[in-house]
């Protein structure tokens, strides 16, 4: 023992006397400290992000007895799935979620096609007023959508081609159906379409022109080149836009509320009334208990997008790094 201690002491002495070794040791200590510091911050911030989710999850599996038991902290004593059962019933979850996902998927596909097309048009073709028009795209990103909300509501309320709206909702106008949202998206003015056009434009500009020229020489038309060659090459941008589009459409409440899209197709809207429904229909009047159901419902609503995000996550972040978000 003594011998070992002596060796160690000698070693330390030698290090202390040698300035070069001292510097290396200092650097090592600094590196270790920096790594620790980094992980402390990352874990801390991650905790702040994840804590509400954990809290919601814990709440959602609590039984009634646990909710009122002050001894219960984090881990419930009698975990139960009954909160989920009722939330699923009252949200009409499977049907609503399926409809919601269908609606989101439809809009995402349309948005992807239209925005990539417009982005490609701006990136690869030269025409008069191009700069001015692209400036207008940037303006659509910047103008908050509430500036135009009233006219949009009034417009879609007033037009009713072939009485479709009346047929579907009983009131004149297209509000109350999903048609306004599809029209807006189809015309490149959907939810944050401007941003997506911008992303696609930046990405297409970064692709080498030779690919297109080769396609052109081989006799491909311009539209064919865009569909079969450029869009395929723009996969990182496509994935980025897909993730953003799905997440934002699925979570959107603003347009859903504005166009009075029925609760049965917009789960994001439906969740807002869950607590009230459970309070009224099931006569659960205790707010503490209502909150448990609310948390279960919220988790149910997040689940589909969370799954999609987890699947696309790796591609997504790589895609962001390579896609044209950065000019």
Partner 1 sequence: MNKKKTRLSLSQKRMIMGYIFILPWFIGFLLFYVRSIFMTGQFSLAKLTVNANVGGYTLEFLGFKNFVFAFREHGSFKQVLTTSVINMLVDVPLVTFFSLFMAILLNKKFPGRAFFRAVFFLPVILNSGAISAMMDLAETMMNGGISATASEVATGDTSNIAFNIDYLVNMFMNLGLPSSILGYLSSAVGRINDIIKASGVQIIIFIAALQSIPSSMYEVAKIEGATAYETFWKVTFPMVMPHIITNVVYTIVDSFTNSEVVDLAYKTAFTDHNYGVSAVFSIVSTVVTCAILVIVVTLIQKRTFYYN
Question: Which CB sits closer to partner 1, 82 or 291?
Answer: 291
Closest-CA residue to 100 (of 295, 269, 286, 308): 269
Give the residue, chosen from 68, 77, 281, 311, that forms a contact with partner 1 under the rule CB under 8 A.
68
Encoded one letter per residue, x for contact with partner 1 by CB under 8 A and - for no contact, window 210-239 reads ------------xx--x-------------
Q: Identify how many contiguous H helices and E strands the chain contains and give both numbers.
A: 18, 0
What is the footprint of partner 1 within residues 106-145 (CB under 8 A)?
A: 114, 117-118, 120-122, 124-128, 130, 133, 136-137, 139-145
Q: Does 22 bind partner 1 (CB under 8 A)?
A: no
Provide the 8-state DSSP code for 227.
Answer: I
What is the footprint of partner 1 within residues 265-324 (CB under 8 A)?
A: 267-269, 271-276, 279, 285-288, 290-291, 294, 297-298, 301-302, 305-306, 309-310, 313-314, 316-317, 320-321, 323
- In contact, 273 and 258? CB cutoff 8 Å: no
What is the footprint of partner 1 within residues 161-180 (CB under 8 A)?
A: 172-173
Name the burial class of residue 272, with classes exposed (0-12), middle (13-18) and buried (19+) by CB atoms within 10 angstroms of its CB: middle
Give the residue, chosen from 25, 101, 168, 189, that forms a contact with partner 1 under the rule CB under 8 A.
189
Question: Which CB sits closer to partner 1, 1 or 285?
Answer: 285
Give the residue, chosen from 1, 3, 70, 132, that forms a contact with partner 1 under the rule CB under 8 A.
70
Instruction: Using alpha carbons, list the distances in angstroms from residue 173 to 149, 163, 190, 225, 260.
Output: 16, 8, 19, 39, 11
Please name the residue that has the structure tokens 């509430």. 146
Question: Which CB sits closer to partner 1, 16 or 167?
Answer: 167
What is the CA 124 to chain-centroid distance, rounded? 29
Question: Which CB sits closer to partner 1, 93 or 226?
Answer: 226
DSSP3 helix / strand / coil % (the chain, rounded to 5): 80, 0, 20
- In contact, 322 and 113? CB cutoff 8 Å: no
Question: Which CB sits closer to partner 1, 1 or 142?
Answer: 142
């Amino acid at each position: 023992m003594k011998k070992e201690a002596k060796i160690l002491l000698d070693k330390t002495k030698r290090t202390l006397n040698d300035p070069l070794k001292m510097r290396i040791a200092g650097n090592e200590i600094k590196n270790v400290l920096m790594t620790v510091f980094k992980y402390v911050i990352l874990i801390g911030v991650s905790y702040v992000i994840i804590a509400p989710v954990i809290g919601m999850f814990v709440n959602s599996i609590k039984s009634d007895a646990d909710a009122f038991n002050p001894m219960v902290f984090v881990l419930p004593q009698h975990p139960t799935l009954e909160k989920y059962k009722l939330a699923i019933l009252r949200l009409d979850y499977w049907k609503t979620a399926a409809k919601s996902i269908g609606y989101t998927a439809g809009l995402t596909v349309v948005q992807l096609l239209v925005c990539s097309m417009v982005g490609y048009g701006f990136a690869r073709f030269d025409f008069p007023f191009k700069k001015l028009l692209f400036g207008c795209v940037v303006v659509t990103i910047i103008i908050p959508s509430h500036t135009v909300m009233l006219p949009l509501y009034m417009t879609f309320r007033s037009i009713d081609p072939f009485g479709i709206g009346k047929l579907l909702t009983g009131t004149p106008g297209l509000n109350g159906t999903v048609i306004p949202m599809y029209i807006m998206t189809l015309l490149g003015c959907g939810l944050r379409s401007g941003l997506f056009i911008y992303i696609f434009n930046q990405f297409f500009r970064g692709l080498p022109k030779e690919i297109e020229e080769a396609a052109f020489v081989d006799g491909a038309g311009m539209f064919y080149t865009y569909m079969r060659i450029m869009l395929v090459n723009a996969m990182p941008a496509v994935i980025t836009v897909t993730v953003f589009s799905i997440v934002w459409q699925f979570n959107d409440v603003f347009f859903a509320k504005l166009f009075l899209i029925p609760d049965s197709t917009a789960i994001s809207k439906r969740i807002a009334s869950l607590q009230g429904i459970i309070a009224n229909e099931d006569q659960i009047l205790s707010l503490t208990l209502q909150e448990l159901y609310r948390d279960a419902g919220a988790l149910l609503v997040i689940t589909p997008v969370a799954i999609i995000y987890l699947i696309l996550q790796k591609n997504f972040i790589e895609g962001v790094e390579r896609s044209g978000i950065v000019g």
